[in-house]
Chain A
Amino acid sequence: MRIEKCYFCSAPVYPGHGMAFVRNDCKVFQFCRSKCHKSFKKKRNPRKTRWTKSFRKASGKELTVDNSLEFEKRRNIPVKYNRELWSKTVVAMKKVEAIKQKRQARFIMNRLKKCKELEKAADITEIKKNIHLIKAPHAGQAKQLEDKMVQKLAEDVEMDE
């Protein structure tokens, strides 16, 4: 029993789900649901369909090259069953999975960090352009003028004295 990968969206296809299509050149295509199957029949390119994993990997939105990704690989040479190897593998698999998740998350966060600077710059320009919507340009000026006049009068008085 094997969990296959959907050809279109790279989702896991569990046994009893989805559909398989065998082409005349003996290449087998597994699909997880009819959405992927229909898109395939419409000859859509999964690398250009934005919601698929292959698009995300091809356009650099997700982690592609990493050591932790090399562990899960389809091997063509079977290895004879050996209890300790299998149990070790299960343990290792869980650890590798944890590390992989961490690294993938870190990759995405790094990508999104650049947004912060852009946001800051956008805020500043926004304020510069449209501050008049919140604050009248001459908002505190009357008071300032008054203060200044008061100050000046005070000075005059002082000078007189």
Chain B
Amino acid sequence: MALYNFKKIMVVPTAKDFIDLTLSKTQRKTPTVVHKHYQIHRIRHFYMRKVKFTQQNYHDRLSQILTDFPKLDDIHPFYADLMNVLYDKDHYKLALGQINIAKNLIDNVAKDYVRLMKYGDSLYRCKQLKRAALGRMCTILKRQKQSLEYLEQVRQHLSRLPTIDPNTRTLLLCGYPNVGKSSFINKVTRADVEVQPYAFTTKSLFVGHMDYKYLRWQVVDTPGILDHPLEERNTIEMQAITALAHLRAAVLYIMDLSEQCGHTLSQQLELFNNIRPLFANKPLIVMANKCDVRKISELSEENQKIISDLIAEEITVIETSSLTEEGVMLVKTEACDQLLAHRVDSKMKGKKVHDVLNRLHLAMPNKRDQKERPPFIPDGALVRKKAMETDAPKRKLERDLEVELGDDYTLDLQKYWDLMNPDERQDRVPEIWEGHNIADYIDPEIMKRLEDLEREEELREKAGEYDSEEETEDEEMQEIRQLANQIREKRKLKILESREKDTKGPRMPRTAKKVERGTLEKDMSDLGLDMTDKDDSHYARRSRSLVRKRKREVSAPPTSRTRSQSASRPPRDQSGVRDVKMFKKAKLMMKNSQKEMNRQGKKGEADRHVFDLKPKHLFSGKRKSGSTSRR
């Protein structure tokens, strides 16, 4: 009823396969181990389970077959008739009936044996019962071999039938064999039906789909019909007749003007009249096909009369040629329009229409005033429409330009720029100047702002902001600066001198080093003191200086103490020394005795300090923590 989905029917297995399938399933899916010493109820249960399982499987499978196959009473009469034509209604029904009977028999067998199993008292007995049950079920099925085969074939053929929706808009093509029905459907739809010069190339119905007025249309191609009474028709013709009888479609009766199909026009007319009753209540169009070979005007008088008779009966006759496509479109539109009109008519006559009509309301606005308000179509649309109708040359593409210029071609996207001044399009725009982006300065008001800035700058200049201030330093300040610089220099020098001192060596008292008279006088005069004429000064007089030779006088006691003390005492390194030679020797001895001490770095005779040059704690032990960057 609903979907006509004959492809969903489960595969019907052959009898042998069916039996094998079920038995192996029983073996796999039920427990397999049983022993003599089990309790009897357990043994019985075991075998009963097997019997029931097998029965269940057969039952399920067969029921499925019965439900999958369509019931001829439940489906559309078109399909029912078609199936009758193809598969023979009686045979079909019989086969299904047999299957049903088989199913019932299997159920009964199982029931009986399960009942008997209750009285089985040993393993052997139960086993035999189970064997018998299974055996009988399988035999029943073996007897259905023929039905199952037939149903499998039916299933295969059924799944390959074309899906024709009997309720939708359909165009039906009919006529003698070889008149051009299949060529027509090939032209009009995307179907690809075999077209050959021999008759009965098309042996079954074919469907193609096409679009017209935003609707989907079915076009059904039929095998050719010969002119003999209904009872003598074979299966192939009967399919065509069935289609004609049941489908509510527009009928396109195709005639061959050139008589290449092997039948004269009068024979075709005969056929037409014979199947006329089937066209009742269907929009009819007669297609005079193969007009490229012979036109109506070229026909003989009799044949022309036939055609004109048809036209006189208010049947649309259109000349067509599937080869040159002449008139094909015309036929299509005519047929579709007629069918649509017919369908609308029949719907309007029906009862359901009123429900819909009652709910629809077409609102027509009342005229407010006399002003004309025609629909507005912009000019561009009209121009484009005209351009579409005429073959206007397309605008020049970039690709065409490229091909034209060949090697010289450069892609210049700047020419598409939308600027205020179109002839500036080819300008090379500056972007950078001295580390600044020009784009950062672009401002429509930049000139005004620049003027403001310049004005401000002028004001500032006038106010004297940019005058370089010459600092009139008075002489005093200059002197001060000079002096300060001198001081700083002197200090630096002193610091450097002080750094050059030897602080690690022995520290000699200041008086140990003799101060040269020249340096003293120079330093002091640098400091601003007057050092001229200083021969008599205390540092320039040679007091207690060395005398070359001293007469040894009897050391008479001095006349007065004070006098003796005021007389200069000889320095210690000169007292008791006779002459220079002795003096020198004495000095040499002194130095010699001191050499050893000096070499050992001793402070004096009394210095007995022992230096620890290699302390043990630093020169023993393993390398532990600490860096080992030296070895």
Contact = CB atoms under 8 A, between A and B. Distances in A.
B427 A71 contact: no
Contacts of B512: none
A79 B438 contact: no
A126 B477 contact: no
Contact of B491 (A72, A93, A133): A133
Contacts of A96: 441, 450, 453
Nearest to A125: B484
B403 interface: no
B438 A93 contact: yes
B494 interface: yes
Secondary structure call for the A interface:
helix
Interface residues of B, number: 52
Contacts of B480: 120, 123-124, 127
Contact of B419 (A80, A97, A99, A102): A80
Contacts of B611: none
A72 B449 CA distance: 12
B506 to A, nearest CB: 29
Nearest to B446: A92
A83 B524 contact: no
A95 interface: yes
Nearest to B468: A109
B424 A120 contact: no
A136 B483 CA distance: 14
A73 B440 CA distance: 5
A79 to B, nearest CB: 5
Interface string B411-434: 000000111110010010111111
B484 A127 contact: yes
Contacts of B590: none
B528 interface: yes
Contacts of A126: 484, 487-488
A94 B494 CA distance: 55
Contacts of B484: 122-124, 126-127
B74 interface: no
A134 B490 contact: yes
Interface stretch (A47-55, A137-145, A153-161): A137-145
B436 A93 contact: yes
Interface string A112-140: 01001000101110110011011110111
Contacts, number: 135
A85 B442 contact: yes
B529 interface: yes
B487 A79 contact: no
Contacts of B421: 82-83
Contacts of A93: 433, 436, 438, 441
Contacts of B409: none
B450 A74 contact: no
A72 B418 CA distance: 26
Interface residues of A, number: 51
B529 A138 contact: yes
Interface string A63-94: 00001101111110011111101101110111
Nearest to B493: A133
Nearest to A132: B527
A18 interface: no
A13 to B, nearest CB: 10
Contacts of A130: 487, 491
A78 B440 CA distance: 10
A27 to B, nearest CB: 20
Contacts of B454: 95, 99
A134 B487 contact: yes
Contacts of A28: none
Contacts of B446: 71, 85, 88-89, 92
Contacts of B438: 86, 89-90, 93
Given A82-B421, A133-B491, A106 B466 contact: yes
Given A90-B430, A92-B446, A97-B436, A139 B527 contact: yes
B527 A134 contact: yes
Contact of A86 (B442, B453, B466, B477): B442
Given A93-B438, A134-B483, A80 B420 contact: yes
B447 A92 contact: yes
Interface of A: 1-3, 12, 67-68, 70-75, 78-83, 85-86, 88-90, 92-97, 99, 102, 106, 113, 116, 120, 122-124, 126-127, 130-131, 133-136, 138-140, 142-143
Given A86-B438, A124-B484, A142-B529, 13 more contacts: A1-B431, A12-B435, A67-B452, A67-B456, A79-B443, A89-B438, A96-B441, A127-B484, A133-B487, A134-B490, A136-B524, A139-B527, A140-B528
7 contacts: A75-B439, A86-B438, A90-B430, A92-B441, A96-B441, A96-B453, A134-B486
